[in-house]
Amino acid sequence: MRQIDLREYETSVYPLSDAHRDALLGEKKTLGLTVEPVIGKEGTYSLTPGSTVGAVEIGDLSVLIRPKIGIPQLLSLACYAIGVYRSQEDRLFNFEEQQALPDTLALALAAMARRAFSRGLLHGYRTEEEALHTVRGRIRFADQIRQRFGIPLPIEVRYDEFTEDITENQLVKAAAFRLGRMRIRSQQARKDLGRVAATLENVSLAEFSPKAVPDVRFDRLNEHYRGVVGLSRLILRHGALESNRGAVRATGFLMDMNVLFQEFVTVALREALGDSPYVLRSDKQLKENHRIYFAKSSRVKLEPDLTLWDGTKCLFVGDAKYKRVRVEGVPNADLYQLHAYITALNLPGGLLIYAQGETETATYTVRNSGKRLEVVALDLRGSLDAVLKRVDFIADKIRELHSEAQRLHPAA
């Protein structure tokens, strides 16, 4: 199998056969990959990834796109963003940096599974409906009459079964199966995945759509499954890339750093702000009475990444940008967008949060209006604890802007 190693937003040059070039072009939208011929070198191409990172196999071509921040940091941030990971578990992702993302995921999943399964497989009650020759649980009289009127056997019944074939175990098995279908280079990772599958032998293999991976509520009975279930959900949300173009099949695990950055910043800020009476919402959590419009006619809707609300009154607005938006002919598009937010909401200022390397921390005061556009850069390198301490600084900025907005719009 031909292997291509790339790094996020960095250009690499590779000789490619026509078949491999066409395979990459066929998936370039999914991969966020730019494929351009090198002038003067026939059959040679420059490959530039965007913000999508991960691993994908297209036919006999294996493509790895490594994140700039490193795979351990990537997984720490991603698990924290979905609310099932805390900084004291950093050691679970303490694998060799040169390992591919699927290998790291496999080793981490197996480590979390060993810890969760050490107390025995989790069991729970599951409601079953069957036609049996003996009564078990309750008889479904309506179904019995409708389906078997006048026939005594079998009997339509409903009962609760105490079983290991529950959602938590199904998620772990599905994640292990999904990783097992990818090219795992580490022999240890392959063995570990095999042990997970063997332990879950009596659990059914369920199919989960990336957009419909079930959430799990944790309590004292299943709290020890939090880590392994969270990582399994992450794998299932991002590891379902599967397409066929003619005879070429593509499968892999891909993550969009733009989405990850916004999700992480939202969750981290929510925790950093603590027990505030106000609600920090993302653009996906805006309710009907929280809509923001640029014009009085309510025809131009605005969707900022971050807003802080006191009831139906917005007291803070901001955007989280992994990369600066570059629009041809429109320099500083992000600043114009933020200015539109604070103008429409009549706020004294707003906040732009970039990943480190995209810009420097700065404050821009708009002429004639005096409105402030605050820009901060969040360094994602290092341990999760270190990153969260940097988030505390951003939370202080939000508190300042929120206090100014309160003074401008005092409660009635």
Q: Write the CA distances from 73 to 6, 152, 264, 289, 409, integer angstroms.
A: 18, 62, 12, 37, 40
The two beta strands, 362-365 and 306-310, are unpaired
What percent of the chain is modeled with pLDDT above 70? 88
3-state secondary structure of 295: coil
Q: How far apart are CA 193 and CA 190, in angstroms?
A: 5
In this model, does residue 354 exceed pLDDT 90? yes
Mean pLDDT of 234-249: 66
3-state secondary structure of 307: strand
Please say whether the beta carbons of 61 and 183 come within 8 A: no
* Mean pLDDT comparison of 188-202, 234-248, 276-290, highest-scoring range: 188-202
Question: What was the pLDDT predicted at 95?
Answer: 57
What are the start-end ranges of the H helices in 58-138?
71-81, 101-117
Question: What was the pLDDT predicted at 404?
Answer: 92
Please say whether the beta carbons of 270 and 280 come within 8 A: yes
- 30 burial (CB, 10 Å; 0-12 / 13-18 / 19+) is middle
Q: Residue 412: which pLDDT band, with cuts at 50, 70 and 90?
A: very low
Structure tokens at 320: 């989280």
In this model, does residue 275 exceed pLDDT 80? no
Q: How many CA atoms lie within 13 A of 360 on its CB side?
A: 1
Nearest to 192 by CA among 266, 102, 281: 102
Question: What was the pLDDT predicted at 55?
Answer: 87
Q: Is the pLDDT higher at 284 or at 346?
A: 346
Question: What was the pLDDT predicted at 7?
Answer: 93
Question: What was the pLDDT predicted at 96?
Answer: 58
pTM of the shown model:
0.80
Question: What was the pLDDT predicted at 245?
Answer: 52
Question: What was the pLDDT predicted at 260?
Answer: 92
Any idea what DSSP says for residue 332?
T
Q: Residue 82: which pLDDT band, with cuts at 50, 70 and 90?
A: confident
Is the bond into 210 cis (omega within 30 degrees of 0)? no
pLDDT of 173-196, one tens digit each?
999 998 988 888 889 999 999 999
Any idea what DSSP says for residue 367?
T
